[in-house]
Amino acid sequence: MLRLDPDGWLRPARHLPSANFNQRPAGTPVELVVIHNISLPPGRFGGGNVEALFTNTLDSTAHPAFADLEGLRVSAHLFIDRRGRLTQFVSLHDRAWHAGLSAWCGRENCNDFSIGIELEGTDTRPYTQRQYQRLARLIRLLWHHFPKLGADSIVGHCDIAPGRKSDPGPAFDWSRLHQLLEAS
């Protein structure tokens, strides 16, 4: 059973703390969940490169696609791999650096008021059933702990950074996620 401890860490989940975070602005509640996708190198799954990126240990010389990532300091709160395994990098009470230049409903800097969830994937390859199941369980837990969250506050990176970002992409089945959320 997934649970949230008082420090904002999920149990049980694998914890790989990232240095790429800071505090949310005082008095700013969590009001948004942003779904992303990531694979490193692009289109390849597994191998620990996503974890290395978020913990500043990625060898930028290990693959040509990593050259642009040299010195990049990014993170997400959570990562769900293809098997549905959950890794947490940043406390849910803190501000992860996942959204970049972003806006939602007229509010800029979505990192201030959101939780970022990365799915191991690409815009064009279907996500796994295990990922959808884990994501739905996770969102239900977030709804329980963060009262300003609801079905209308789950968005893609593409929704808060249109024209700049496309993830989670056309391969993400929003209706499937919503069916799983309604099922329980």
Residues in a beta bridge with 104:
107
- Rounded to 10°, the helix 174-182/129-145 angle is 60
Check residue 126 and report its DSSP letter: P
Contacts of 57 (CB under 8 A, 6+ apart): none
> Residue 118 catalytic?
yes
Q: Which of 31, 51, 70, 118 is catalytic?
A: 118
* Burial (CB count <10 Å: 0-12, 13-18, 19+), residue 143: middle
Annotated catalytic residues are 118
